[in-house]
Structure 1
Amino acid sequence: MVQKRVKPSSEPAAVVDGVEPTSDEGLASALPASLTIEVELPAPVHEQPEDEQAVALVEAGVDPAVVVAPVVTGEPGTTVIELDHDDLHAVAVTPEIEPEAVVEVPPLPVAEGVYSRRDMLDGVHHGPESAAMLTADRLIEPRRRSRPAPEGAWPALVYGATFHLVNLGDSRRVRERKQIDARIATAFEGGARFVPVLTRKGGVGKTTITTLLGMALASVRDDRVIAIDANPDRGTLSERVARQTRATVRDVVNRAASIQGFTDFSTLVSRDETRLDILASDTDPMLSEAFDENDYNVVADLAARYYSIVLTDCGTGIVHSVMRATLQRADSLVIVSGGSVDEARLASETLTWLEANGYGDLVRDAVVAINTATQGTNLVKLEEIEAHFASRVREIVRIPYDEQLAAGSVISWKDLRPLTRQAARELAALVAEGMPVRRGV
């Protein structure tokens, strides 16, 4: 509503309320002191600029009369317009969105021994230390660490005379002994290792070499070593040690289903002073030929459960089925040769047969043990025999003559000559070095 006030004018006025004024003064006197005229004007129309239209939230206008109260609706993440009825202006309001619940993932536990004291000092690990961090390097003063007492006559004398102040270390002989011990004690992973001892000729000392090899291994190693007599023609391996049982490979085959642990198996073997276990062959000539490939596999499977090294004293029948089963499991080979011409030739023919039947890799990695206690050794050139085998195998070892071995009876490891023990230990070290440390390598 617009109000307009009109003042008196000197111009002629129109008739008001049916009274015509006679003059200007009379007209002025006839008019009221003030005059109010009411005029209805159209509502102002707001034209929205183009820049505002480009960012407008709605295409149609909003009637303020319709909106009588603030309205807040919408899903989380949308914008709602509130219109104030009195001030006729719009306010954009974004509703508060409740934050989603954050799932906390707990950190992985720290296993004991996976961090060091340096990690603790560097701030990598915080918390209580594990027992694995209490190492000797950390707790013992370097200057107060005492070296072990030396071995050997002269180093031990100086060590004692100086009240343990002067330690010359082990003698040369002791150092060499410990080096061979370390080679023999090579640790193996992934199951038992099988080492057949074989040749095509009997009487060359194959059983004796098997016994010496087993004693040298068992006297040093911390695990178990067994020698199996797989000779189908009545072997004599069990006669090389003090026999403690009359059980044979046949008993192992018959009782295989009832053997539940090493205690059950140990009742069927004989053990000597070096902790070498020996499993005898059949002594009944009517049953010796019955020990075949399947029987050997039963015995070998049981032995592999409880022993780390399995030596097999093979017979002279190289084409026997037991030989095939033995070679299929072999990780290393020991070929025994005598010191005579025919014994050396038959040992070489054994290598040729193995190469022709697909065992060339075993031949190249084999070790030849030359038993110099056989007849005719003094008449041949052992150097030439060694040179021949050196072109075909990995290593050659001479086993010297020893009266105890020549007797063909029970072998006492401690009563052997030092040179004999040394040769047996060297053979054991070469065999251990030739076998894979991990299965499949």
Structure 2
Amino acid sequence: MERVRTPAPEVALTSKRIGQIDDQRESSDLLTADRLLDPRQIARPEPEGLFQQLVYSVSRQRINLGDGRRARERKELDRRISTPLSGGARFVPVLSRKGGVGKTTVTSLLGMALADARDDRIIAVDANPDRGTLADRVGRSNGRTVRDLVRAHDEMAGYNDVSSIVARDATRLDVLASDSDPRVSEAFSDDDYRQVADVAAHYYSIVLTDTGTGIVHSVMGATLELADTLVIVAGLSVDEARLASETLTWLETNGYGSRVRDAVVVLNNSRPGAPLVRENELEAHFRSRVRTVIRMPYDPRIAAGSAIVFRDLQPATRQAARELAAAVVEGLRAPVGAA
């Protein structure tokens, strides 16, 4: 007798997520370190702080109270400064309308604080149409200048070509010096600065620009056009403070209003002793116009006019420079809207 075969029903072979197969089953992404690792079995780093170290030592490393307040604050500031920046290079010009208020010093301190805490490359460019002194403050000038970089612009094949022109200090800050001959440096133009910026953007994450005194010199147009955030330096006198405030007004009325709102003002004390002006009033004025105000204290090692060694500065100076660096990085992380 012939056997009759009944065709089997078709089964749709579709994939299912784990949650659709059985609600009791877990996917592998739930096996996190926080869930699985026993914190009692994980060695905590040795604490920082005098009392914390004492307890840790006396208890034979059984009692770890964690870091003291100062250590926590230092590490938090490190974290803020070293926050990664996505996208391309960021440009930060340092401006003032009056000479002698410490613009080049602030540029140096900001660059050193950034380079000391970050893993990426930082460069400070001296774009002063007159002879600038940024390379002198870093103290490792190699005789090469922005002019050399402009001439070699089309031949740059890698960072080694750039590193042969820039000078580098102990914090890993690279510095591009201005022309030493004032007659030559006067020819440094917007186009020249754009070529320097084009090279810097390929090899650096943050490009600081020590601008010339004033706001309308030959390089300022390109400097402001490329700027992602601004640092304005104000001295601690009535006329210096007014000029800094007038600089903000000029920027606002010339299409840079959003940059002003996001700017950082540095109140730089370049003279010994207590200033004649009331710093609290100055700070209140500028806080009404910009995002952040940083006070830079007087430091005799800076006032001497010699090369700045970051680790030799007074603790308050290094702290202020690091707070400035953190404020700048936070401004670079936030997108700036149209003016």
TM-score, length basis structure 1: 0.68
Contact 1:189 / 1:439 at 8 angstroms: preserved in 2? Answer: no
In structure 1, C-alpha distance between the alignment counterparts of 2:335 and 2:53, rounded to whole Å: 39
- Paired-residue identity, %: 62
Per the alignment, residue 378 of structure 1 pairs with 275
Contact 1:196 / 1:312 at 8 angstroms: preserved in 2? Answer: yes
1:241 counterpart = 2:147: no
In structure 1, C-alpha distance between the alignment counterparts of 2:336 and 2:40, rounded to whole Å: 42
Contact 2:93 / 2:208 at 8 angstroms: preserved in 1? Answer: yes
**Structure 2, unaligned stretches of length 5 or more?**
1-12
Per the alignment, residue 26 of structure 1 pairs with none
Moved over 6 A (4+): 132-135, 438-441
1:305 counterpart = 2:208: no
In structure 2, C-alpha distance between the alignment counterparts of 1:134 and 1:391, rounded to whole Å: 49
**Structure 1, unaligned stretches of length 5 or more?**
1-104, 108-114, 126-131
Per the alignment, residue 193 of structure 2 pairs with 296
Per the alignment, residue 194 of structure 1 pairs with 91
- Cα deviations across residues 49-103 of structure 1 (Å, max 9, x unaligned)? xxxxxxxxxxxxxxxxxxxxxxxxxxxxxxxxxxxxxxxxxxxxxxxxxxxxxxx
**Structure 1 or 2: larger helix share?**
2
Contact 1:373 / 1:401 at 8 angstroms: preserved in 2? Answer: yes
| Partner amino acid, structure 2, of 1:301 | D
Alignment of 1:86-235 (within 5 A): 122=25, 140-235=37-132
Superposed displacement of residue 161, structure 1: 1.7
Cα 1:219/1:170, change in 2 over 3 Å:
same
In structure 2, C-alpha distance between the alignment counterparts of 1:333 and 1:424, rounded to whole Å: 15
Larger Rg: 1
Superposed displacement of residue 317, structure 1: 3.4
Per the alignment, residue 150 of structure 2 pairs with 253
| Partner amino acid, structure 2, of 1:122 | R
Superposed displacement of residue 241, structure 1: 1.4
- Cα deviations across residues 180-238 of structure 1 (Å, max 9, x unaligned)? 11111121111011110001101100000000111111111111111000000110000
Structure 1 residue corresponding to 2:163, chosen from 251, 266, 269: 266
In structure 1, C-alpha distance between the alignment counterparts of 2:52 and 2:26, rounded to whole Å: 47
1:435 alignment partner, SS class: helix
Structure 1 residue corresponding to 2:217, chosen from 310, 320, 333: 320
In structure 1, C-alpha distance between the alignment counterparts of 2:285 and 2:207, rounded to whole Å: 29
1:303 alignment partner, SS class: helix
Cα 1:258/1:139, change in 2 over 3 Å:
farther
Return 383-392 or 364-373, whichever deviates more. Answer: 383-392
In structure 1, C-alpha distance between the alignment counterparts of 2:255 and 2:35, rounded to whole Å: 55
Cα 1:309/1:147, change in 2 over 3 Å:
same
Cα 1:148/1:439, change in 2 over 3 Å:
farther
Superposed displacement of residue 308, structure 1: 0.7
Per the alignment, residue 297 of structure 2 pairs with 400
Cα 1:348/1:257, change in 2 over 3 Å:
same
Contact 2:129 / 2:218 at 8 angstroms: preserved in 1? Answer: no
Contact 2:122 / 2:174 at 8 angstroms: preserved in 1? Answer: yes
| Partner amino acid, structure 1, of 2:263 | A
Cα 1:124/1:207, change in 2 over 3 Å:
closer
Contact 1:189 / 1:438 at 8 angstroms: preserved in 2? Answer: no
Superposed displacement of residue 163, structure 1: 1.5
Larger RCO: 1 or 2 (CA < 8 Å, sep 6+): 2
Superposed displacement of residue 123, structure 1: 7.9
Q: Quote the RMSD (CA, aligned, Å).
A: 2.6
Cα 1:147/1:382, change in 2 over 3 Å:
same
| Partner amino acid, structure 2, of 1:307 | Y
| Partner amino acid, structure 1, of 2:46 | A
- Cα deviations across residues 146-198 of structure 1 (Å, max 9, x unaligned)? 11111111111211221211000000011111111111112111101111000
In structure 2, C-alpha distance between the alignment counterparts of 1:181 and 1:123, rounded to whole Å: 38
Give the number of aligned pairs: 322
Cα 1:163/1:384, change in 2 over 3 Å:
same
Cα 1:337/1:377, change in 2 over 3 Å:
farther
Structure 2 residue corresponding to 1:414, chosen from 296, 306, 311: 311
